[in-house]
Structure 1
């Protein structure tokens, strides 16, 4: 046998070794859906699958990052005690069917439910930025911003200029921006902020030649602003123009909150600041004695690879299982796991009205194709699907039975459930839920509702492409 023959034999044998080893390795600590997706990839393309698995196959941060996170409880012992001292746990008033979901939230998160908050839902894109800029202009102590995308466009410069003026007044301004989400603008934004005296850091920087690099697919997807420890912002909107992607205009949802729960948003920020800088921020002015500004009971839930027990996916399933009347899920990206699919279908059988509000315009083609592959079975189960026209509906929120609302940065897909660092604000309040429901009704009016017969009549080629995309959806 010539040398080429020997090499061919070695290559074939190596492929089978990879298949057999990965058959053992892949299912460990991985959902059945994700395991099937990886194993299918491994079966057809063993070597490319092995390389990709080494790069993004395990939802774990590098050791140095995990070691820093392990230091958090001790580093922030004073911060944790101060939050407990300054805030009082408040059991939300809920019917029996939702009490278990509230208990789950309490056990998943590291923060208590607290009363005395006031919330304002901001659905105007430019309006929410204007409100944030106004609050920065009135800041007296500090401004903390954590965003997945921070651009140096018109929107970004309005925030940069406000931060510069705040620094001139003696306000301490700190900014965290995700290295991948802001990669197009990061060098210019970092330079502009640093020249103006703002302390700014990239979150999870990555690169082949970096000593302490992060994985490219594990990102900090949070959007948080905290001003003077008394005003907080959380939601889906980044600091970038609404039309930053050609041909697409984003529609968002942001919550402006005041009251004790702002201290929980502050704690998420200072924890992320420590993870990037190893600097502990615990001065008293960062956690001032809260002032009751309303009657809303609320809780912050951080989630992501740093918080393996704080699963936003588990919470969404529990809320759906607990629903008795109505569930509305609004998200731009919907790639559910089997547990959520079962929960949604079971809810309809129990008589619950279930609505999905999704976006008709798409900015991620492969994800959109995979998402569409679920529509037929969802519609057949009695779930109503509304496709929002004209704009990319990037808002991410859920309402359950007029009693519980969840608004934040998390999509309903495996990336947000497992890979991304996310943050959600849970509101146990009828009035807030009613306000959110009014916004959802506006979505319905601006959407096309799918029918099962029409959807099934789409061309066969589309069905095939969508279902191929679905096969790799656990990897998305």
Structure 2
């Protein structure tokens, strides 16, 4: 009996070390940033069982077998669709401004489609304006409505949008709604999904959270896009979830969320539509390719209109493109660079690019919320402040609520707006979307919005920051250690 017990102990110990060794080898064989690999190895060796479980759950980008197969299968038809779209030569821009040229070339070569011109573009900064514009467009819709949001939270104007969407479905408009399972938990626990389905709306719960499948698919991989397409002609995207901030996270202690959305008319709705169709097929297995743009889709063809490129990220989309686009935009800056984000945990390359821009004479401003709804990210982001301040970057801490806008403005000409935060999760993991806009008029509009944010912010003083207490520095470094995992 004692011999059997000893043998069992040795088998357990051997199995334990084989598990540690196999996960270690798996980490070393994956091509990833060294800080990220080192962080995982330290976690695994300091907290072995917890570290192994955490790595198997969150360490690799598992989309799930079924979704991964759909992602592979959809690309031949998607590639053919993009090839056919290129025949509509009149919608594509022939040239770009100097500051935007390299970024547009990068996007075209990686995604297979160039920026489209002839778009009408309106910047919306108030939630009420976004909601009322959306309700009006839904009421006037005739054929189809596609929506995807990370969060749909019932209450206030969000309910009015839901009512207008159900009314559209009842009169024969084909409505499809895709919402992230984790982000829209309150919605899926409410009566709204059943009410919408009864009205004829296709409601899809994207990336369902299922603890029974935690090792088969990465649970923190989320559908983070915010998009609306109406009649293949009108499109919305930006940082705003489908929430009325007066009814959302009122007890979080950070104030109301402050967002930015773009409302567009023109061929941009077609290129955004192909992103939605890919997401729909990955999630449901059903193919939904948008129709090609018609000859009357360009409201500003004579004046070229706003030239816009769509960048989509996530499993199944061009890898690392969002990160490459941000680096290209930052290095293109010659005079001014302004960035806004609620969550700032940049890669080493992005941090280096921002600091280098400031050191070579570019006026660099970073606008962040003073209070953050994520304790981990809030502390981790502060670990980067000393290096940024030393390089000459101006850091503004927004005090008018949780600044949730994600935007980059380069030399008042090149703009990036969308759903991408400057953190590891947006850069490497989630399904995200960003618009790249080459237009000085829009750049001036975005600059005005960013100036308003700055007017409601406090400039961080480099001398005061150096004098912060030691316990704060230690806390920052502890959370910085986990930054590759955030």
Q: 1:41 to 1:209 in 2, by over 3 A?
A: closer
For 1:275 and 1:367, the matched residues in 2 are separated by 30
1:432 and 2:442 are equivalent in the alignment:
yes
For 2:373 and 2:429, the matched residues in 1 are separated by 20
In the TM superposition, residue 211 of structure 1 has moved relative to its aligned partner by 11
Structure 1 gaps of 5+ residues are none
C-alpha contact 2:147 2:177 (8 A) present in aligned 1 = yes
For 1:256 and 1:62, the matched residues in 2 are separated by 34
In the TM superposition, residue 107 of structure 1 has moved relative to its aligned partner by 2.1
**Residues 252-261 or 18-27, more deviating:** 18-27
Tell me the alpha carbon deviations over residues 247-306 of structure 1, each in whole angstroms, 9 at most, x when there is no partner: 33100010001111110111111111111222222464x754452223111111101122
For 2:95 and 2:240, the matched residues in 1 are separated by 28
**For residue 264 of structure 2, what is the aligned residue in structure 1?**
257
Tell me the alpha carbon deviations over residues 305-344 of structure 1, each in whole angstroms, 9 at most, x when there is no partner: 2224352111111111121111111100010111011111
C-alpha contact 1:403 1:429 (8 A) present in aligned 2 = yes
For 2:290 and 2:310, the matched residues in 1 are separated by 21
**For residue 454 of structure 2, what is the aligned residue in structure 1?**
444
Tell me the alpha carbon deviations over residues 448-474 of structure 1, each in whole angstroms, 9 at most, x when there is no partner: 110111112221111111110110111
Which secondary structure state, in structure 1, belongs to the residue aligned with residue 334 of structure 2? coil
Task: Indicate which of 395, 398, 401 corresponds to 1:388.
Answer: 398
| Root mean square deviation of aligned Cα | 2.3
For 1:12 and 1:365, the matched residues in 2 are separated by 37
In the TM superposition, residue 407 of structure 1 has moved relative to its aligned partner by 0.5
In the TM superposition, residue 105 of structure 1 has moved relative to its aligned partner by 2.1
Task: Indicate which of 167, 176, 179 corresponds to 1:177.
Answer: 179
In the TM superposition, residue 69 of structure 1 has moved relative to its aligned partner by 0.8
Q: 1:464 to 1:8 in 2, by over 3 A?
A: farther
C-alpha contact 1:150 1:186 (8 A) present in aligned 2 = no
1:26 and 2:27 are equivalent in the alignment:
yes
**For residue 110 of structure 2, what is the aligned residue in structure 1?**
108
**For residue 358 of structure 1, what is the aligned residue in structure 2?**
368
**For residue 71 of structure 1, what is the aligned residue in structure 2?**
73
For 1:214 and 1:184, the matched residues in 2 are separated by 22
In the TM superposition, residue 108 of structure 1 has moved relative to its aligned partner by 2.8
Q: 1:228 to 1:343 in 2, by over 3 A?
A: same
In the TM superposition, residue 89 of structure 1 has moved relative to its aligned partner by 2.5
**For residue 348 of structure 1, what is the aligned residue in structure 2?**
358
In the TM superposition, residue 209 of structure 1 has moved relative to its aligned partner by 4.1
**For residue 196 of structure 2, what is the aligned residue in structure 1?**
193
Q: 1:129 to 1:212 in 2, by over 3 A?
A: farther
**Residues 180-189 or 410-419, more deviating:** 180-189
Which secondary structure state, in structure 1, belongs to the residue aligned with residue 315 of structure 2? coil
**For residue 319 of structure 2, what is the aligned residue in structure 1?**
309
In the TM superposition, residue 214 of structure 1 has moved relative to its aligned partner by 4.1
C-alpha contact 1:304 1:417 (8 A) present in aligned 2 = no
TM-score of the pair, normalised by structure 2 = 0.92
In the TM superposition, residue 12 of structure 1 has moved relative to its aligned partner by 6.5
Q: How many residues matched? A: 474
1:461 and 2:471 are equivalent in the alignment:
yes
C-alpha contact 1:118 1:257 (8 A) present in aligned 2 = yes
For 1:290 and 1:370, the matched residues in 2 are separated by 49
For 2:4 and 2:135, the matched residues in 1 are separated by 69
**For residue 275 of structure 1, what is the aligned residue in structure 2?**
282
Q: 1:93 to 1:308 in 2, by over 3 A?
A: closer
**For residue 158 of structure 1, what is the aligned residue in structure 2?**
160
Task: Within 5 Å, give how 1:218-229 maps onto structure 2.
Answer: 218-229=221-232
C-alpha contact 1:15 1:46 (8 A) present in aligned 2 = no
Which secondary structure state, in structure 2, belongs to the residue aligned with residue 185 of structure 1? helix
Task: Indicate which of 119, 122, 136 corresponds to 2:121.
Answer: 119
Task: Indicate which of 45, 65, 69 corresponds to 2:47.
Answer: 45
Task: Indicate which of 124, 135, 138 corresponds to 1:136.
Answer: 138
C-alpha contact 2:181 2:205 (8 A) present in aligned 1 = yes
Task: Indicate which of 408, 416, 422 corresponds to 2:426.
Answer: 416
Structure 2 gaps of 5+ residues are none
**For residue 375 of structure 1, what is the aligned residue in structure 2?**
385
Which secondary structure state, in structure 1, belongs to the residue aligned with residue 344 of structure 2? coil
Task: Indicate which of 284, 289, 297 corresponds to 1:291.
Answer: 297
Q: 1:287 to 1:310 in 2, by over 3 A?
A: farther
Tell me the alpha carbon deviations over residues 208-265 of structure 1, each in whole angstroms, 9 at most, x when there is no partner: 3469974311111000000101100010101112141123310001000111111011
